[in-house]
Chains A and B, each alone.
Chain A
Amino acid sequence: MSAATTKSIAPEAPRKSISITSLMWVNVAKDLRLEWRSRDVLNSMLFFSLLVVVIFSFAFSPTADESRKIAGGLVWTAFLFSTIMALNQSWARELKNGVLDAYRVSPAPAEALFLGKCLGNFIFVVLLECLMAPLFVLFYNLSSVGPLWQLVVIALLGTWALVVNGTFFAAMSLRTRNRELMLPLLLLPISIPAVVTMVAGTTQVLTGEGSPAVQMKFLAGFCVVFTAACFLLFETVLNAE
């Protein structure tokens, strides 16, 4: 854990309750700092999705019209798998120096750690999406028929849906024998409804056939339900022995 937390919850100090949000931001800052220094996650994610873009464009070589119809699926497949890469890294990092054990001993609420991790991963994936979106546009001649802001909303909600479940299941798969293999096996079945909705919504905006309002509402609902469930269950999973 970072120095700031341990100092303020030292046993002698009078119990000053620290809010979950400030603890969460400490976690986010730590993750961002680590990432800034090593750039492990972002580099591998970026390179991986670049490869996916290239391979897909070889496989399909679509016209502008066709690519509008398939781009939703392509983009989200690429982002989904790069997200899984990021998630695998994010907890493995904590395992090395016994950080998780330290966290279990500390009185800081586990939920702050969970939310911090989620936000950190969310920032990484959104960054990746911002960097990759121009490439998709370039390679596939993409132009959107529908309004662009809807794409942004769908992307943000969809990314949060993936990241919140993914962070939870990555913490779970830490306890399994074949860690990195387990995460997709657990995450993909649960996220199918979110992925299907993201793809459907994106395709609707790109082709301009109908409004994706239903999809956006659905994604928002998915995010609320699973954020709440993971939030409540995380401490149990963290302390599962």
Chain B
Amino acid sequence: MKSKIFFFFLLITLGLLAWGTYQALEVAPPEATMGDAQRIFYYHVPAATAASILFWGNFVASLWYLWKRSPVADALAVTGAEVGVVFFGVVLISGPIWARYAWGTFWVWDARLTTSLILWLLYMSYLVLRRSSEAGSTSVMAASMAILAALDMPIVYMSNRWFRTNHPQPMIGTPNLNPEMQKVLLWNMLAFTMFALMIAWFRYELERTSQKINHLHIQKTAQSTSLAMIAPVALFFFQDEKLLHEKMVQHHYMVAGYIAVWTIYIGYLLYLASKLAKLKKEEAELRA
């Protein structure tokens, strides 16, 4: 039953991703000065939205864990942080590629950029803590760390606003956003949020499986999805082919952005797949 729902969810997500990408590449009007390079916007912003949802999920799950000590909450917390870091990595990669074209430089110590980088660093250190802490105490310490990280965020935001405002560039939410572009952006936000939730669901099932294996109660939770994961890869190749023969610089930036972003997504999915394979092997060994 669960795998059927997941599959349904996956189909919708892929459909939305294809639709969103089509909208971003074809339907959205080219921006007056930046041309196609501006289309990076349509997956930069949605990835940020998805990541912030996931980080919030991590915070809520961590509070829940400290309150109830439920392994479900712990699995949700690790899922939120890890998938969030991947999506935020996409934000941090695609942003500079756009910035190289728009501003002429990859990185500026602008308030929003600095804040984002620190956010990413915080959740990286959360993941590092999870990896290297002693077995029994991981969940509690990670939950405490998550709460401190979440507390730090508004402070980081304020401190950058006050002390590092070199030149805040209005990047999103400008009032003169073309309504056509806004529609495309919203479609992409929906698509990428669904995509993030789908990966998160998959990651969560993996975590639950590994928790169960840890307790030697083996269940076949995460078996239905390994094949379906290849679909996003196919989508990627399918989407980009018709663009490659055009030689404009703006196109190059856009394509570079796409390649960088999907390399991250696919790399992460492959990592999850290898984890799944390892867990399955372990499961088989335990059964034997």
Q: Measuring CB to CB, which residues of chain A are less than 8 angstroms from any residue of chain B?
A: 165, 168, 172, 175-178, 182, 185-186, 188-190, 192-193, 196-197, 200, 214-215, 218, 221-222, 225-226, 229-230, 233, 236-237, 240-241
Whether A193 contacts B159 by the Cβ 8 Å rule is yes
5 contacts between A and B (CB under 8 A): A172-B145, A185-B129, A225-B151, A233-B144, A240-B137
Alpha-carbon distance between A222 and B163 when the two chains are bound, in angstroms: 15
Most buried by B among A168, A193, A218, A241: A193
Contacts of A196 in B (CB 8 A): 159-160, 163-164
Chain A nearest Cβ from B277, distance in angstroms? 26
Whether B145 contacts A236 by the Cβ 8 Å rule is no
Chain A nearest Cβ from B24, distance in angstroms? 33
Whether A189 contacts B133 by the Cβ 8 Å rule is no
Whether A189 contacts B118 by the Cβ 8 Å rule is yes
Q: Measuring CB to CB, which residues of chain B are less than 8 angstroms from any residue of chain A?
A: 66, 118, 121-122, 124-125, 128-129, 132-134, 136-137, 140-141, 144-145, 147-149, 151-152, 155-156, 158-160, 162-164
Q: Which of B66, B122, B158 contacts A190 (CB 8 A)?
A: B122
Whether B158 contacts A218 by the Cβ 8 Å rule is yes
Q: Which residue of A lies closest to B149 (CB)?
A: A190
Q: A186-B128, A236-B140 are known contacts; what are 16 more A-B pairs with Cβ within 8 Å?
A: A165-B148, A172-B144, A175-B134, A176-B134, A178-B132, A186-B145, A189-B121, A189-B125, A190-B122, A192-B118, A192-B121, A196-B163, A197-B163, A200-B163, A233-B144, A236-B144
Alpha-carbon distance between A214 and B159 when the two chains are bound, in angstroms: 10
Alpha-carbon distance between A185 and B145 when the two chains are bound, in angstroms: 12
Known interface pairs A177-B132, A178-B132, A189-B122; A236-B66 also in contact (CB < 8 Å): yes
Q: Which of A190, A197, A200, A221 contacts B152 (CB 8 A)?
A: A190
Contacts of B144 in A (CB 8 A): 172, 233, 236-237
Contacts of B152 in A (CB 8 A): 189-190, 193
Whether A240 contacts B141 by the Cβ 8 Å rule is yes
Contacts of A172 in B (CB 8 A): 129, 133, 141, 144-145
Alpha-carbon distance between A240 and B143 when the two chains are bound, in angstroms: 11
Known interface pairs A190-B152, A237-B140; A214-B118 also in contact (CB < 8 Å): no
Q: Which residue of B lies closest to A168 (CB)?
A: B148
Whether B151 contacts A218 by the Cβ 8 Å rule is no
Whether A229 contacts B159 by the Cβ 8 Å rule is no
Alpha-carbon distance between A232 and B95 when the two chains are bound, in angstroms: 38
Chain A nearest Cβ from B151, distance in angstroms? 6
Alpha-carbon distance between A178 and B163 when the two chains are bound, in angstroms: 34
Q: Which residue of B lies closest to A184 (CB)?
A: B125
Alpha-carbon distance between A215 and B158 when the two chains are bound, in angstroms: 11
How many A-B contacts if CB must be within 8 Å? 89
Alpha-carbon distance between A177 and B132 when the two chains are bound, in angstroms: 6
Whether A193 contacts B151 by the Cβ 8 Å rule is no
Known interface pairs A178-B132, A189-B118, A229-B148; A240-B140 also in contact (CB < 8 Å): yes
Whether B128 contacts A192 by the Cβ 8 Å rule is no
Alpha-carbon distance between A176 and B130 when the two chains are bound, in angstroms: 9
Alpha-carbon distance between A175 and B162 when the two chains are bound, in angstroms: 36
Alpha-carbon distance between A88 and B125 when the two chains are bound, in angstroms: 18
Q: What 3 A-B pairs are tightest by C-beta distance, nearest first?
A: A240-B137, A240-B140, A193-B159
Whether A237 contacts B163 by the Cβ 8 Å rule is no
Chain A nearest Cβ from B154, distance in angstroms? 9
Chain B nearest Cβ from A206, distance in angstroms? 16
Known interface pairs A176-B129, A178-B132, A190-B122; A233-B159 also in contact (CB < 8 Å): no
Chain B nearest Cβ from A167, distance in angstroms? 13
Whether A197 contacts B159 by the Cβ 8 Å rule is yes
Whether B163 contacts A241 by the Cβ 8 Å rule is no
Whether B147 contacts A233 by the Cβ 8 Å rule is yes
Whether B156 contacts A192 by the Cβ 8 Å rule is yes
Q: Which residue of A lies closest to B157 (CB)?
A: A193
Contacts of B151 in A (CB 8 A): 225-226, 229
Whether A233 contacts B134 by the Cβ 8 Å rule is no
Alpha-carbon distance between A204 and B156 when the two chains are bound, in angstroms: 20
Q: Which of B129, B134, B147, B159 contacts A218 (CB 8 A)?
A: B159
Alpha-carbon distance between A168 and B164 when the two chains are bound, in angstroms: 28
Contacts of B149 in A (CB 8 A): 189-190
Chain B nearest Cβ from A197, distance in angstroms? 6
Known interface pairs A175-B134, A192-B156; A226-B148 also in contact (CB < 8 Å): yes
Alpha-carbon distance between A191 and B158 when the two chains are bound, in angstroms: 14
Whether B133 contacts A176 by the Cβ 8 Å rule is yes
Whether A218 contacts B141 by the Cβ 8 Å rule is no
Whether B159 contacts A182 by the Cβ 8 Å rule is no
Q: Which residue of B lies closest to A234 (CB)?
A: B144
